Amino acid sequence: MSKIKPSKGAPYARILGVGGYRPTRVVPNEVILETIDSSDEWIRSRSGIETRHWASAEETVAAMSIEASGKAIADAGISAEQIGGVIVSTVSHFKQTPAVATEIADKLGTNKAAAFDISAGCAGFGYGLTLAKGMIVEGSAEYVLVIGVERLSDLTDLEDRATAFLFGDGAGAVVVGPSKEPAIGPTVWGSEGDKSETIKQTVPWTDYREGSVAKFPAITQEGQAVFRWAVFEMAKVAQQALDAAGITPDDLDVFIPHQANERIIDSMVKTLKLPEHVTVARDVRTTGNTSAASIPLAMERLLATGEAKSGDTALVIGFGAGLVYAATVVTLP
């Protein structure tokens, strides 16, 4: 018989607060058109994107995360000292070690919180949310900060017509804490590594270091293959998340998909047959694709504008490089 005592965590977990940070510089499509042969109409019709935000030198991954996290902590009504874990999802923090989460945990004033980074691309927020839920239910932390943050402008090839217009920068954060009732559903997640070539970094950092390539590494993708996968396969995953939570599309109030492309969002809404009363996040129009940051940023904007309200039931789904995905149903803070 095991001598280990059972954990004393909370029965359930929930999102208690949300915060976001968008860099001050707003970049319209006209700026992108300076380096690619395209048009504003083409970009809008293919992606829905009108503007995006690009970070300045001072708006680092850590700085943006701290701004978003401070808002989330205040929104949750707790203090930084109560945070027991900090999870940061990002693919654009260029210092391999230490994890940027440790710097963020310290500068926020946590009491030596567990802190680590994860790399799960555009599904990173869902991965982090699932890990935070486990920590709270298991009892290793009472409150966990989950951050999605990117400076994708650093990884954008402005001469690549397929991707130059897509990416933006920003940070979104949520505080996850204990709940007496289910408020974060089961996660449906996974990966399809056989399709990893469809979204990838152009070359390894070592190739650039050794001088075998002159161009700084960037993110590239096979647009049509990604579109087909996201529309057809991710709609199935979204439905599985609804089934796992025991609800139907009629029970939903809000749909917050990864803000990759408005055409993908529209196709998923149609495939899932979402009722007209469901509010659909379309933050991609003015924020662009911010990868791991896109879901919490979209959530924060919906709540701030009143398009969604506290207590609403929302389906969230992220999908991207890997190819990885994660979907779950949550109660909004």
Per-residue model confidence as pLDDT tens digits over 193-218 = 999 999 999 999 899 989 888 899 99
Instruction: Find the radius of gyration of the CA atoms of the chain.
Output: 19
What strand order describes the sheet that includes 83-89? 12-21, 169-179, 143-151, 83-89, 114-118
CB burial class (10 A; 0-12, 13-18, 19+) of residue 45? exposed
What average pLDDT does this structure show over 30-54? Answer: 97
**Do residues 172 and 291 touch, judged by C-beta distance below 8 A?**
no
- Helices marked H in the chain: 29-32, 40-47, 61-76, 100-108, 124-138, 205-210, 223-228, 234-245, 262-272, 284-287, 294-305
Q: Please list, residue by residue across 272-301, b when 16 or more beta carbons sit within 10 angstroms of its beta carbon and e when fewer do.
A: bebeeebbbbbbbebbbbbbbbbbbbbbbb
Per-residue model confidence as pLDDT tens digits over 149-163 = 999 999 999 999 999
Helix (H, G, I), strand (E, B) or coil at 132: helix
Instruction: With cut-offs at 50, 70 and 90, classify the pLDDT of residue 38.
Output: very high
Instruction: With cut-offs at 50, 70 and 90, classify the pLDDT of residue 89.
Output: very high
What average pLDDT does this structure show over 35-63? Answer: 97
DSSP 59: S
- What pLDDT is stored for residue 2 in this prediction? 87
CA distances from 129 to 132, 205, 219 (A): 5, 29, 25
- What pLDDT is stored for residue 252 in this prediction? 98
Instruction: With cut-offs at 50, 70 and 90, classify the pLDDT of residue 191.
Output: very high
Categorise residue 288: left if φ over 0, alpha if ψ from -120 to 50, beta otherwise: left
Q: Answer whether the bond into residue 323 is a cis peptide, omega within 30°.
A: yes
* C-alpha–C-alpha distance, residues 158 and 147, integer Å: 27
Longest dimension (CA), the chain: 69
Per-residue model confidence as pLDDT tens digits over 283-319 = 999 999 999 999 999 999 999 999 999 999 999 999 9
Per-residue model confidence as pLDDT tens digits over 6-22 = 888 999 999 999 999 99
- What pLDDT is stored for residue 161 in this prediction? 94
**Do residues 13 and 133 touch, judged by C-beta distance below 8 A?**
yes
Two structure tokens written together for 57:
């030198």
Catalytic residue positions, numbered: 122, 258, 289
Two structure tokens written together for 257:
């998909």
DSSP 233: I
* C-alpha–C-alpha distance, residues 128 and 126, integer Å: 5
DSSP 161: T
Q: How many Cα atoms sit within 13 Å of 181 on the Cβ side?
A: 3
